[in-house]
């Protein structure tokens, strides 16, 4: 089998969490995440930070205004446990409008503190020691940490530069009767790849064979640059095993608001709600009506957001290519992957630590998104975020153009 099971020998939940996230050293000391290290480096050197994926511009004015109005009108106490009825109605309308999915706002939707809490509640509700969670590697860093917290083991299916599409045989080999859950993130962070309907069908079929659940992370659902996003939950037979997670943060450039949601059949959702109740209980009372307004914005908003981001992808990709990197062609998300090998660089983590001083730009080595065992397969790759103002990306490109010369001296 391709996906080797990752070792888990730490004893307490926090140690398992930290170890799974690669933050626990051999003698038990905690190290900061690469994101914290790179952001500190960016502010110390004044470099352009294309490390962390958050936009540097505000989202739609109507959505921001709706939150201010909600505070003024007194939406400042605990909202209902599953979210305010108007937001749940707006999520149901959204699923119908974009995907033709019928979701019951009373029993099949729960609003969460971002997609992160939905992921945590789903994993903690269903996974424990002895269970395996199949993920596509590289993966969003919270997946490994949450698997570690639950006691379950991560089984990675590799995605490879430059198109990062999974191999069907690798999926079939990774999913066994030990698999409790398959975690599917499309559009994908960190690679920007988008899984097509055929791949989704292979995943669902593997889940059915193993009687496993599927949890989808669709936070970039509206940020695709070609074919539209296809939720796994639209496939026949999905209702009995697919748990769908999304969030407002990326779509509306409100990553700090932490409004997410999970939709699933009542039978699958109730255990998740039970856990969620005792994680945060509720969050973001005045942001909930604002996101309801956002989800009801006309199609032109959603198309405009994707088009604008696609242009930004093109600006940064061209800059990276001109600088001498080999560059992926992301079909969605905030991110592009650059291979530093053509520049004669084999260790991207080392280059990322030097990049702020060399040319004044920050990126994140892709090795931060893979298990320690597999870091070697991704050694020369860097993730850059293009969810920044166009002139910031143009300036970053100009700086990166100096990289060849800087590396020679
Ligand atoms: C940003 C992100 C999240 C976190 O979403 P929140 O709503 O901020 O919790 C989850 N998954 C992926 C893949 C992300 O990129």
Q: Tell me the H-state helices in 137-254.
A: 141-150, 168-174, 197-210
| Domain end (from 296, 324, 349) | 296
- Cis peptide preceding 190, ω within 30 of 0: yes
249 lines ligand 1 (CB under 6 A): yes
Same domain, 92 and 217: yes
Same domain, 222 and 315: no
Atom of ligand 1 nearest to the CA of 118: 9
Nearest CA to ligand 1 atom 5: 115
For the domain that residue 50 is a member of, what is the CATH number?
Answer: 3.90.1150.10
Q: Give 118 Cα–ligand 1 centroid separation in angstroms.
A: 10
Same domain, 340 and 403: yes
Whole-model pTM: value is 0.96
Q: Residue 9: what pLDDT?
A: 54
Q: Residue 8: what pLDDT?
A: 47
The strands making up 326-327's β-sheet, listed across from edge to edge, are 326-327, 335-339, 381-385, 364-365
Is 152 among the domain residues? yes
Q: Which of 95-99, 202-206, 220-224, 370-374 is predicted least confidently?
A: 370-374
Is 161 among the domain residues? yes
For the domain that residue 230 is a member of, what is the CATH number?
Answer: 3.40.640.10
Same domain, 273 and 166: yes
Is 20 among the domain residues? no
First to last CA, the chain: 45
Tokens of 336: 């592009």
Atom of ligand 1 nearest to the CA of 119: 10
pLDDT digit string (tens) for 265-301? Answer: 999 999 999 999 999 999 999 999 999 999 999 999 9
Domain count, the chain: 2
Same domain, 240 and 206: yes
Q: Cα separation of 1 and 6, whole Å?
A: 13
Q: Give 220 Cα–ligand 1 centroid separation in angstroms.
A: 9
Q: Cα separation of 42 and 352, whole Å?
A: 11
Same domain, 54 and 66: no
Domain that holds residue 111: 61-296
Same domain, 287 and 359: no
Phi, psi (degrees; rounded to nearest 5) at 5:
-75, 135
Is 12 among the domain residues? no
Same domain, 186 and 325: no
137 lines ligand 1 (CB under 6 A): no
Is 1 among the domain residues? no
Pairing of strands 132-137, 179-185: parallel
Element (H, E) at 299: helix 299-322
279 contacts: CB under 8 Å, gap ≥ 6: 113, 117, 120, 121
Same domain, 99 and 149: yes
Neighbours of 187 (CB within 10 A): 26
Same domain, 160 and 220: yes
pLDDT digit string (tens) for 43-95? Answer: 999 999 999 899 999 999 999 999 999 999 999 999 999 999 999 999 999 99
What secondary structure letter does DSSP report for 219? T
Q: Give 219 Cα–ligand 1 centroid separation in angstroms.
A: 6
Is 2 among the domain residues? no
C-alpha 65, offset from chain centre: 27
Is 7 among the domain residues? no
| Domain end (from 296, 319, 352) | 296
254 lines ligand 1 (CB under 6 A): no
Same domain, 310 and 223: no
Same domain, 305 and 197: no
83 lines ligand 1 (CB under 6 A): no
| Domain end (from 296, 315, 339) | 296
Q: Residue 220: what pLDDT?
A: 98
pLDDT digit string (tens) for 376-388? Answer: 999 999 999 999 9
The residue whose two tokens read 């789903």 is 122
Is 249 among the domain residues? yes
Q: Give 142 Cα–ligand 1 centroid separation in angstroms.
A: 9
Nearest CA to ligand 1 atom 7: 114
Q: Cα separation of 70 and 62, whole Å?
A: 12
């Amino acid at each position: 089998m391709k996906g080797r099971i990752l070792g888990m020998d730490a004893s307490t939940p926090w140690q398992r969490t930290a170890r799974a996230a690669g933050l626990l050293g051999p003698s038990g000391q905690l190290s900061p995440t690469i994101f914290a290290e790179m952001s500190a480096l960016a502010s110390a050197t004044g470099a352009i930070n294309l490390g962390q994926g958050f936009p540097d511009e505000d989202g739609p004015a109507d959505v921001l205004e709706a939150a201010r109005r909600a505070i003024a009108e007194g939406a400042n106490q605990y909202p209902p446990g599953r979210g305010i009825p108007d937001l749940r109605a707006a999520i149901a309308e959204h699923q119908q409008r974009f995907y033709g999915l019928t979701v019951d706002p009373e029993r099949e939707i729960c609003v969460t503190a971002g997609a992160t809490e939905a992921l945590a509640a789903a994993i903690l509700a269903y996974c424990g020691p002895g269970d395996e969670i199949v993920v596509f590697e590289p993966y969003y860093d919270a997946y490994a940490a949450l698997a570690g917290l639950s006691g379950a083991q991560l089984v990675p299916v590799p995605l490879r530069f430059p198109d990062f599409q999974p191999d069907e045989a690798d999926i079939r080999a990774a999913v066994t009767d030990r698999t409790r859950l398959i975690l599917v993130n499309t559009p994908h962070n960190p690679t920007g790849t988008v899984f097509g309907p055929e791949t989704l069908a292979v995943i669902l079929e593997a889940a059915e064979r193993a009687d496993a659940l599927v949890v989808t992370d669709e936070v970039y659902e509206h940020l695709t640059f070609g074919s539209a996003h296809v939720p796994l939950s639209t496939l026949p037979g999905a209702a009995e095993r697919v748990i769908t997670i999304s969030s407002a943060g990326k779509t509306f450039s409100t990553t700090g608001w932490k409004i997410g949601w999970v939709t699933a059949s009542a039978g699958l959702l109730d255990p998740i709600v039970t856990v969620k109740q005792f994680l945060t209980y509720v969050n973001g009372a005045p942001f909930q009506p604002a996101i309801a307004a956002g989800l009801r914005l006309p199609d032109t908003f959603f198309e405009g957001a994707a088009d604008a981001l696609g242009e930004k992808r093109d600006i940064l990709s061209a800059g990276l290519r001109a600088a001498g990197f080999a560059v992926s062609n992301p079909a969605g998300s905030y991110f592009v992957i650059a291979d530093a090998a053509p520049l004669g660089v084999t260790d991207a983590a080392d280059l990322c630590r030097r990049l702020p001083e060399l040319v004044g730009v920050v990126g994140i080595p892709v090795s931060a998104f893979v298990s320690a065992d597999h870091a070697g397969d991704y050694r020369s790759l860097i993730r850059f975020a293009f969810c920044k103002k166009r002139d910031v990306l143009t300036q970053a490109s100009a700086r990166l153009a100096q990289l060849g010369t800087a590396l020679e001296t």
